[in-house]
A and B are shown apart, each in its own frame.
Chain A
């Protein structure tokens, strides 16, 4: 038994011979806000479907709250404790806001009426409006309300801010950090919006071609990754054999641009040993880390 709210080991899954997951490992600690990043088709949706019990892996193990995600009866217990918001935020168009709240509430004995009331007011959702008449932003908020109000320990969000205007985006992000701060809810979300992930996530995992290529605390990643710009006295005749930790090197004339993931001091020393070299350091954004790790394949 571990403290991981979500734990996946060696997950593999193929569809009609096409591999979707190729040995994914994932560890999501309780109380974290976890960003799950990857290109389209990298395996994010398949992973979420696995965690939700919608499919079973070909091999490997996925656990939510320590329970096996693929098991039918454990799946019901898991879904009792988690809240899910889909990418397109589709709900039943024929129901009103009030009706769907009543409907959802009936499945959760631990429903928190005070959270429902608070978010109904905060999100400004008209109780008698039909869901088919709600904008996507309002449907996002409604789905979030439904997920939070049943006291979910874990929120799984598939592209929570996709298709929303900037005001709605900021609103959703604010509510997510608020719920994390006040309830200690673990938030696991997939997103293409790297700036938003950088803003609220404390841990990230970048998935590419069905496996995790980068994983860890966002602060640590940003501290460990550095960009170095080396300007040399004269054009280098032969390419330099850089030491460990260099992820990517680009040379243009007398400028060498290096992205390093660790061992930065040693690399700087190596750079300084080049003829008349000056070295500058730059911090690295999540976008740069992301592009570096998914492009090279």
Chain B
């Protein structure tokens, strides 16, 4: 399992590590049930702060992506297997949608506002139980 971090970008290291682990799961480098390196090993290999590793692991546990088993270590959740496949499909959908929107001449910000608007409406629809056209 090889991870790469760049401390000099502005992105906090724990977020970078989380991203890398999520990405590893999505691409199948880490499968459901696999054990993640111990905090100490991760810290030593990547030459990063062990408390930062702890934070990343905890956040991922909070998201349900990994499980911290007391005494034995960190493991990829069983439930992520299915998720990875779905995520891959979703990725393709979003990629093609973005291509088509860009062809229409929309800027990044406009696209972002569009999605946010639609998400908000979608959420509202689900909450009210109705369906709009």
Q: Which residue numbers of A lie inside 8 Å of B, CB to CB?
A: 31-33, 170, 173-174, 177-178, 180-182, 195, 198-202, 218-219, 222-223, 225, 227, 278-279, 282-285, 287-288
Q: Quick check: A202 and B52 within 8 Å, CB to CB?
A: yes
Q: Which residues of B contact A (CB under 8 A)?
A: 7-15, 39-40, 43-44, 47-52, 55, 107, 109
* Chain A residues within 8 Å of B44, by CB: 174, 177-178, 181
Interface contact B14-A181, CB-CB below 8 Å: no
Listed by A's residue number, 6 A-B pairs whose Cβ atoms lie within 8 Å are A33-B51, A174-B47, A177-B43, A178-B43, A178-B44, A180-B51
Question: Chain B contact residues: over half helix, strand or loop, or mixed?
Answer: helix
Q: How far is the CB of A231 from chain B (nearest CB, A)?
A: 11
The answer to whether B13 and A219 have CB atoms under 8 Å apart is: yes
Q: Are A181 and B8 also in contact (CB < 8 A) when A200-B48, A219-B14 are?
A: no
Closest chain-B Cβ to A238's Cβ sits at a distance in Å of 25
What is the count of residue pairs linking A and B with beta-carbon distances less than 8 angstroms? 69
Q: Which of A33, A202, A278 has the most CB of B within 10 A?
A: A202
Distance between A118 CB and nearest chain B CB, rounded to angstroms: 14
- Of the residues B48, B51, B107, contact of A199 by C-beta under 8 Å: B48
Do A201 and B49 touch across chains, with their CB atoms under 8 A apart? yes
Q: How far is the CB of A172 from chain B (nearest CB, A)?
A: 10
Complex: chain B residue closest to A220, CB-CB:
B12
Whether B7 pairs with A177 at a CB distance below 8 angstroms is no
Determine whether the beta carbon of A177 is less than 8 Å from that of B12.
no
B13 to chain A, nearest CB (A): 7
In the bound complex, what is the Cα–Cα distance between A285 and B11 (angstroms)? 8
Report yes or no: A198 in contact with B8, Cβ–Cβ below 8 A.
yes
Partner of B47, one of A199, A201, A279: A199
Judging by beta carbons under 8 Å apart, are B9 and A283 in contact?
yes
Q: Give the interface centre of A31, A170, A200, A201 by most chain B CB atoms within 10 Å.
A: A200
Answer whether A202 and B7 are a contact pair too, CB < 8 Å, given A218-B12, A219-B12.
no
Given contacts A177-B44, A177-B47, A180-B49, 18 further A-B contacts (CB under 8 A): A33-B49, A177-B49, A178-B44, A180-B43, A198-B8, A198-B13, A199-B7, A199-B47, A200-B49, A201-B49, A218-B12, A219-B15, A219-B52, A222-B12, A279-B109, A283-B11, A284-B10, A285-B10
> Contacts of B9 on A, CB cut-off 8 Å?
283, 285
The reply to whether A219 and B39 contact each other, CB–CB distance below 8 Å, is no
The reply to whether A282 and B10 contact each other, CB–CB distance below 8 Å, is yes
Q: Which residues of B contact A33 (CB under 8 A)?
A: 49, 51
How far is the CB of B38 from the nearest CB of chain A, in Å? 9
> Could you say which residues of chain A place their CB within 8 Å of the CB of B7?
195, 198-199
For B13, the chain A residues whose CB sits under 8 A away are 198-199, 219
- B49 contacts A222, C-beta separation under 8 Å: no
- Is there an interface contact between A181 and B109, defined as CB atoms closer than 8 Å? no
- CB pair B10 A181 closer than 8 Å: no
Q: Which residue of A has the minimal Cβ distance to B52? A: A202
**Alpha-carbon separation in the docked complex, A225 to B47 (Å):** 24
**Least Cβ–Cβ distance between A25 and chain B, in angstroms:** 22
